[in-house]
Chains A and B, each alone.
Chain A
Amino acid sequence: SQTIHQWPATLVQPVGSPLSLECTVEGTSNPNLYWYRQAAGRGLQLLFYSVGIGQISSEVPQNLSASRPQDRQFILSSKKLLLSDSGFYLCAWSPGTGRHSDSPLHFGNGTRLTVT
């Protein structure tokens, strides 16, 4: 069966420090991968999605970037964190194109990031 791992679960970082959140999926190949963020009082906002290695699409301009160095690995990064980057970050996957790509999103447990 497929599983998704996301770490760390919580993170406290000072303003200006770098960020690296990692997400990996097991039990499937060529998944679509997503990074969502939930800020206080807001819904889940799609930040990035990827349909393949090295293919990253950004939904909103921001201080963050994403990379997909391997098929089942999705990394969310920042060179210098801002206070406004605080929030709850969720990684998700869905089957890739042509194979039940209409199936629901499968979410990780999330990372709570606090920038101080």
Chain B
Amino acid sequence: AQRVTQPEKLLSVFKGAPVELKCNYSYSGSPELFWYVQYSRQRLQLLLRHISRESIKGFTADLNKGETSFHLKKPFAQEEDSAMYYCALRGAFMFSGGYNKLIFGAGTRLAVHP
């Protein structure tokens, strides 16, 4: 079965500290992985996707197929990074028919303290 696991409900760090939000997945094929973010009073929005291999707002995430992980990292956290972060998976079969079926994890709330 397809599943996304985010083991931490809350991650609390100080400004300037490194951040790693964990995401593990279960999928038998070749998945696409995403990170979505929801800042306070804003809508859920895409942060980054593994196929883009880009850094967004200082965040990066590498797909590790051996460990079935897609952890989100940032070397120096900022207060404005405080938000709810969701890891999401889409398998090849989920994209048939042109629709976008994402499976989300439970989310991790990141709190960055001054």
Contacts and interface: CB of A to CB of B under 8 A. Distances in A.
Interface residues of A, number: 27
A49 interface: yes
Contact of A43 (B46, B98, B105): B105
Interface string B66-107: 000000000000000000001010000001011111111111
Contacts of B86: 43-44
B43 A32 contact: no
Contacts of A101: 95, 98-100
The B interface is mostly helix, strand or loop, or mixed, namely: mixed
A112 B9 CA distance: 20
B100 to A, nearest CB: 5
Interface of A: 32, 34, 36, 41-46, 49, 51, 59, 90, 94, 96-98, 101-110
